[in-house]
Amino acid sequence: MTGATDAGLDVVDLTVRYGGQVAVDRLGLSAPLGRLTGLIGPNGAGKTSTFNACSGLLRPSSGRIVLLGEDVTRKGAAARARRGLGRTFQRMELFTSMTVAENVALAREARQAGSNPLRQQVATPRQWAAVQAATAEALEVCGITGLADRVVGALSTGQRRLVELARVYAGDFRMLLLDEPSSGLDKAESERFGTILRTLVSDRGIGILLVEHDMELVMTVCDELYVLDFGALIFHGTPAETKASPVVRAAYLGSEAVMEAAGLAERGVG
Ligand SMILES: Nc1ncnc2c1ncn2[C@@H]1O[C@H](COP(=O)(O)OP(=O)(O)OP(=O)(O)O)[C@@H](O)[C@H]1O
Ligand SMILES: [Mg+2]
């Protein structure tokens, strides 16, 4: 079914329940390689729950997760990562006492070690060189080569966000799940962040599924959007179509700042 060459991540009829509460309700979405797909929706809509089901951190009540054409629903998080799925978390999880380069290198080392953690300690010179090269490339792509030897704890939020992105990029994944990767960035940083995301997708052919509350960023960088509300998919389309959708506007009623940034408010309701 999903044998196409651009198959990235497909979510099929996904339902996630916490006890009796339905957090994700029969969601279907496709995030192909070489495309930037956005997953948006108000707080509590089920975005992070969807990510957790995709990355294998929680078991769905029903539905399937298909990664690069392979059904991985019954595979654990490590197995999905080995198959090319990388993610960032809503709360940043960098090692603050380590340098930028060390944080980024660690991601690559972990990826090379695969399922065998011991291999991480006994890297050959060739593996070490590969880690160094991957780290240098990731820092370069994310424009933070100059920060390589700085301790992460001393960096600004904007710089840390770029380190986080470099770290997941260094992991050499085909498909990335980014959960609010730009939160805390100012306008200029956010624009730069968006440019880097476009580079990863267009030049490197990576597929990205992006959860982000920064509507200006989402509307600028995404190829298409899926909109969740109370766990259900309420809209799927291009950013322009999404902006024009009365259904989406209604879901965001009460969040005027979000609507304004998205361009949803411009049209008024009448
Ligand atoms: N571990 C959990 N146990 C119980 N309920 C949870 C759990 N995680 C999330 N929920 C609930 O599931 C629903 C969806 O939450 P989720 O975190 O997926 O939303 P979200 O779209 O990521 O929200 P936000 O934009 O605030 O990050 C919410 O009602 C939330 O309270
Ligand atoms: Mg969330």
Nearest Cα to 33, choosing from 1, 65, 62, 10?
Answer: 10
CA dihedral over 213, 214, 217, 219, signed as positive or negative = positive
Residue 56 Cβ < 6 Å to ligand 1? no
pLDDT for res 92:
72
Sign of CA dihedral 147, 148, 149, 154: positive
| pLDDT of amino acid 1 | 44
The DSSP 8-state label assigned to residue 90 in this structure reads S
**Which atom of ligand 1 is found nearest the CA of 228?**
21
- Which residue's CA is minimally distant from atom 31 of ligand 1? 44
Rounded to whole angstroms, the Cα distance separating 238 from 55 reads: 25
The minimum-distance atom of ligand 1 relative to the CA of 42 is 25
Instruction: Give distance in angstroms: CA of 99 to centre of ligand 1.
Output: 32
1-84+174-270, CATH topology level? Rossmann fold (3.40.50)
CA distance 35 to 72: 21
Site to substitute for ligand 1 among 11, 43, 47, most atoms within 8 A of C-beta? 47
For 150, the token pair is: 């700085």
Please give the Cα distance from 96 to 257 (Å, whole number). 32
- 43 Cβ inside 6 Å of ligand 1: yes
Distance CA 41, CA 66 (A): 23
CA of 53 relative to ligand 2 center, distance in Å: 13
Domain boundaries, the chain: 1-84+174-270, 96-172
pTM: predicted TM-score of the whole model, two decimal places? 0.90
Ligand 1 atom at minimal distance to the Cα of residue 50: 18
| pLDDT score at 121 | 60
Helix (H) or strand (E) holding 237: strand 232-237
Q: What is the pLDDT, as a whole number, of residue 127? A: 83
Q: Do residues 29 and 10 touch, judged by C-beta distance below 8 A?
A: yes
- Using alpha carbons, list the distances in angstroms from residue 170 to 65, 121, 131, 200, 233: 24, 18, 9, 11, 32
Whole-number Å distance, alpha carbon 117 to ligand 1 midpoint, is 32
The whole-angstrom separation of Cα 253 and Cα 179 is 23
List of residues 6+ apart from 8 with CB closer than 8 A: 30, 31, 32, 33, 35, 67, 68, 174, 175, 207, 209
- For residue 120, report the distance from its CA to the centre of ligand 1, in Å: 34
Instruction: Tell me what pLDDT residue 262 has.
Output: 74
Three-state DSSP state, 72: coil
pLDDT in tens, the chain (270 residues): 444 458 999 999 999 999 999 999 999 999 999 999 999 999 999 999 999 999 999 999 999 999 999 999 999 999 999 999 999 887 778 899 999 999 999 988 877 766 555 555 667 888 888 899 999 999 999 999 999 999 999 999 999 999 999 999 998 899 999 999 998 888 888 999 999 999 999 999 999 999 998 999 999 999 999 999 999 999 999 999 999 999 998 888 667 667 777 777 554 433
Q: What is the pLDDT of residue 223?
A: 98
